């Protein structure tokens, strides 16, 4: 009997057989992967900590406060060690509180043409206060002054090309990186601006070869690097408190402190808080990234 002569029931039955057969193949492949890898705890998460990465770093912060929430303890340690730290704020968070009367007061247009509010300026002032708290008397002047790029809040994905062009001029004006490490939110963050910023970080790495260190704010990532912030957690909490406008609705300090406490799980009793990073010294393709976040490969993939 040819295919056209088969009844609808026969065709449906054949389709079911094919689906079941493919499902069995998929299960067999997954079992093979699990048996082959046999990942232990130490293959999934680091059981050790390392010094903060970079001597001359640039931090991409989608909004004022992300730099402090994500890696405030690391930044303080870097500054205490005399390292150079520059921050690039991609947006100024002008849509974070639409009920604030300052949000409706337009000051001027930002590079992408949207209105820029007095509320955004207020958040920039908070950022400057937080950075002054994180700063140390021994810290070096940043390679470039802290930047407020002022793209529209929640619309970074619509400004990727322009933002990437501007940041290329900052990171590698002649095609050669001025910085050795680029910190960015991870690609699996909740906020669309965070994910868009991660995309920019990956493109900058492909452009000039800079090391990228992804940090976590709203979604725990799978790290390959842990930074001990036991000695700097209090300073980090003080810097978070500088963002008064953001703490009115959400106690970010409590949530982030809890996250940092959990990150010390594999580091022994003497370390109370840690910050987690996914460090990429070379670009990863999409398959490697997917396998990493689905726990289908061990820590050695990052070496």
pLDDT for 270-303, tens place per residue? 999 999 999 999 999 999 999 999 998 999 887 5
Model pTM above 0.75: yes
Compute the average pLDDT of residues 127-150.
Answer: 90
Give the residue, 14 or 192, on which the prediction is more confident.
Answer: 192
Label residue 61 by pLDDT band (50, 70, 90).
very high
Q: In whole numbers, what is the pLDDT of the chain averaged over residues?
A: 88
Q: Phi/psi zone of residue 270: left (φ > 0), alpha (ψ -120 to 50 degrees), beta?
A: alpha
Decide: residue 165, CB within 10 A, 0-12 exposed, 13-18 middle, 19+ buried: exposed
Residue 166, both tokens: 């501007």
pLDDT score at 31: 52
Residues ≥6 apart with Cβ < 8 Å to 4: none
pLDDT score at 38: 79
Total residues belonging to the chain: 303
In CATH terms, the superfamily for domain 56-297 is: LmbE-like (3.40.50.10320)
- Domain-by-domain residue ranges, the chain? 56-297
Q: Is the pLDDT of residue 22 over 60?
A: no
Decide: residue 242, CB within 10 A, 0-12 exposed, 13-18 middle, 19+ buried: buried
Label residue 94 by pLDDT band (50, 70, 90).
confident
Label residue 186 by pLDDT band (50, 70, 90).
very high
pLDDT score at 19: 52
């Amino acid at each position: 009997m040819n295919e056209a002569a088969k009844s609808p029931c026969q065709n449906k039955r054949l389709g079911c057989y094919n689906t079941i057969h493919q499902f069995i193949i998929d299960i067999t492949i997954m079992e093979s992967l699990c048996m082959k890898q046999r990942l232990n705890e130490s293959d999934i998460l680091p059981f050790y900590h390392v010094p903060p990465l970079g001597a001359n770093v640039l931090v991409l912060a989608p909004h004022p406060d992300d730099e402090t929430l994500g890696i405030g303890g690391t930044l303080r340690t870097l500054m205490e060690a005399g390292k150079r730290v520059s921050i690039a704020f991609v947006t100024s968070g002008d849509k974070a509180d639409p009920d604030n009367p300052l949000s409706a007061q337009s000051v001027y247009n930002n590079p992408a043409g949207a209105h820029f509010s007095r509320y955004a300026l207020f958040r920039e002032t908070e950022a400057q206060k937080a950075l002054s708290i994180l700063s140390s008397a021994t810290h070096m002047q940043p390679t470039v002054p802290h930047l407020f790029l002022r793209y529209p809040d929640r619309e970074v994905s619509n400004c990727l090309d322009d933002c990437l062009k501007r940041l290329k001029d900052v990171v590698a004006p002649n095609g050669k990186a001025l910085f050795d490490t680029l910190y960015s939110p991870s690609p699996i963050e909740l906020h669309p601006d965070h994910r868009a910023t991660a995309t920019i970080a990956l493109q900058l790495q492909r452009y000039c070869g800079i090391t990228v260190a992804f940090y976590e704010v709203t979604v725990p990532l799978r790290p390959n690097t842990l930074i001990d912030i036991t000695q700097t957690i209090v300073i980090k909490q003080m810097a978070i408190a500088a963002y008064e406008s953001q703490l009115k609705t959400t106690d970010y300090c409590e949530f982030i402190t809890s996250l940092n406490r959990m990150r010390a799980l594999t580091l022994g009793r003497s370390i109370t808080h840690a910050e987690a990073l996914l460090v990429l010294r070379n670009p990863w393709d999409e398959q490697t990234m997917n396998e990493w976040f689905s726990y289908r490969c061990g820590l050695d993939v990052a070496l």
